[in-house]
Each structure stands twice: as C-alpha cells, then as structure tokens.
Copies of this chain bind each other. A is one copy, B any other.
Amino acid sequence: MPTLRPEVEALLGREFRCLDKGFVRLIDVMGDDRAIVQAARVSYGEGTRTPSDDRKLIRYLMRHRHTSPFEMVEFKFHIKLPIFVARQWIRHRTANVNEYSGRYSILREEFYEPAPEQIRPQSPLNKQGRASTPLPEAQAQAILERLRRTQQALYAEYQELLAQNVARELARINLPLSLYTEWYWKIDLHNLFHFLRLRLDEHAQYEIRVYARAIAGIVKVVVPLAWEAFEDYVLEGMSFSRQEQLVLRHLLRPEQLTEELLQQAGLSGREAQEFREKLARICSRGNALE
C-alpha cells in the first residue's frame, strides 16, 4: 500500500464547512493516481513508467471511457447535510451508506437556514430551479425569519412528544426536510465522478452543489491527474448530437486548423490525431443540409 502523500494526509478528518451547519470530512481513502495506473497496466500491458506516461495513460482512459481503473480508488466521507439534500444524494446507488437513525437516537436541533441571498424566486427558464437573482432583501429576511420560527416550533413539538414518551420513530414524523442528518458515505472514484458530474451541474439544486464543490476540492488533491482529465473531458467537455454536427459542418473552416493552434491548446500526438479525425467525420457527413 503506497503511503499517503502529505497533502492527502493533511486533508484527513478536516471539516470542510458546507451551507450554514453542514460539512464534508474525508475519513479514509484507498489509492490515488498510481492505483489507477497500476490497475490499467494489468489490463492494457506495461509500457514505460515515467510520470508523464502516467498522465497520458490516465487521460487516455478517461477519454475512451475505460472506467474500471477509476473504480480502484475508494473514498470514505463523513457528511452532515439537510434531509432534502440527502434525498437527492441517496439516488446515487453505487455507494455505501450508514446514516444517523432517528429510530435509535434523538435527532439534534439543527436545521438548514438558507443564506438570505439564496432565497430566490422560481426560475423563469428552468422548470426545476431558482432564478439567478434573489428576492428583495427585506422579503428574504422576512421569509428566513419565518422558516426559523417554524423550525423552532417543530423541534419544540418533537421534544414535547418525546417528553410524553411517544416512540422516537413516530415523534419525528413532523420534523421538516430542512433538518440536518449525518452519514458515512463510501464510493469509488468512477462513481464519485459520476456524482460530481451531475451534482456540480448548474441544474443541480444549489444546496447539493455546495457539497459537490467541497468534495471536488478534496478529490482534486487526492487524484490530481484523474481530476484534470475529468475536468478536461467530462466537466468541460461538450457534446454535439447528430443534428448539431450537420449544422456545425456549415460553420466550420477546417482548413484553418494549424499545428500551432493545436499546440497552443495543448493537443499533441494521439489527441491531436483524434481531433483531426473528428473534424473529418463531421465534414464528411452527407449533404443533408444542402
């Protein structure tokens, strides 16, 4: 087992605050970029092993969706999050979870109170999201005040039911989705990237994005090469449909492609070759539009 690099060691156990009372903590990690390379070399053979080869290999794996070597790295987090965030999170099934149980234990008085600037109107464009501008500050403050009072009242009622010895599993049913819960969450890097792709996306709800960003910050330190490839090909990648390619063909001047442009963009060797092939494929699409 390779020892942890010091910058990873320094992350372990550290609380990265999320929202007003939540956090993400890296509890344990198995493997790093070297583990990806090691697993890939079992499958795809040896090759020389300079650090630059490692980077190239990892980029190749990411680009061509050879996902299994990324499954060889495993993360374990301790996370504190509001229940409505937990409900979105848990939809990612390929992970291991142990959550604080309101049947066994008394739930703590900790509720999510949005920052006033996050109290926003329904998005006019996006059926599922909120607008990019907040409500007027006074209105937001009033709403926030109201959410807070309700949360306090609900917790007082919960305590009173417990005081009457109502079973914990029942006393909690009127507690709100804004209540904080906690869990241990363990997931491999391939599935974590999938989580991040969906939850860093601007269509994800703001609150879960905050957690995704905190986790991304950790992943970046643990597997810097895999992260870079993930960013270049997936997070910042852009996909065009068959129809869009038909249009692109009419907007592209492939003859303007120069070695220099490729170099400046950091495309060389195999990646440059693959780019040329993609352009050629677009330009050879039937004359459907003419």
Which residues does A use to contact B, with CB under 8 Å? Answer: 1, 4, 12, 27-31, 35, 38-40, 42-45, 63-65, 68-69, 71-72, 74, 76, 78, 82-84, 87, 90-91, 93-94, 96-101, 103-105, 112, 114, 118-123, 127-131, 135, 139, 143, 146-147, 150-151, 154, 157, 161, 164-170, 172-178, 182-184, 186, 188, 198, 203, 205, 231-233, 236-248, 250-254, 256-257, 261-262, 264-267, 271, 275, 278-279, 281-282, 288-289
Contacts and interface: CB of A to CB of B under 8 A. Distances in A.
A205 B102 CA distance: 11
Given A43-B101, A248-B252, 12 more contacts: A72-B184, A91-B97, A119-B166, A120-B166, A122-B168, A146-B157, A169-B205, A173-B176, A233-B242, A237-B240, A237-B241, A251-B254
A129 B104 CA distance: 8
A225 to B, nearest CB: 15
Contact of A39 (B44, B157, B184, B247): B184
How many copies of this chain sit in the oligomeric assembly?
Answer: 4
B240 A240 contact: yes
A207 B120 CA distance: 36
A251 B252 contact: yes
A27 B1 contact: yes
B243 A271 contact: yes
B72 A42 contact: no
